[in-house]
Homo-oligomer: A and B are copies of this chain.
């Protein structure tokens, strides 16, 4: 199939397909000479796997580190272990961000109180 069909079936834009090709996430479709690119069902499966991993919150770079395993490890264990490690890292990062935001929030609250206090002094009543 050509890029139009591929993109439609994968529910992405043609731009996305080309972008993935440009960053090496997807092999460019084969072609004869300088004509159009032709893709197979394998490319479609790969695009769908990419989307699935994106929905888990992986970046394209992280997806690039695991995607090949999905198509080389027949047991499916290796890719899942790697994804698991990435998810655990994300969990740590999320918890760290939550902590930072909570810190930021309490600083904000303190500053708000300072301003409120000042304005109450300046404008009694």
Q: Which chain B residue lies CB-closest to A76?
A: B122
In the bound complex, do residue A118 and residue B57 qualify as a contact, i.e. CB atoms below 8 Å apart? Answer: no
Partner of A101 from B88, B101, B115 at Cβ < 8 Å: B101
* A12 sits at the interface (CB 8 A): no
A selection of 26 A-B contacts at a CB cut-off of 8 Å is A57-B104, A75-B122, A76-B122, A77-B119, A77-B123, A80-B115, A80-B118, A83-B115, A84-B112, A84-B115, A84-B119, A87-B108, A87-B115, A88-B112, A90-B108, A91-B105, A91-B108, A91-B109, A91-B112, A94-B101, A94-B104, A94-B108, A97-B101, A98-B101, A98-B102, A101-B101
> 13 additional contacts, CB 8 Å, given A56-B111, A87-B112?
A80-B115, A80-B119, A84-B115, A84-B119, A87-B111, A88-B112, A90-B108, A91-B108, A94-B104, A94-B108, A97-B101, A98-B98, A101-B101
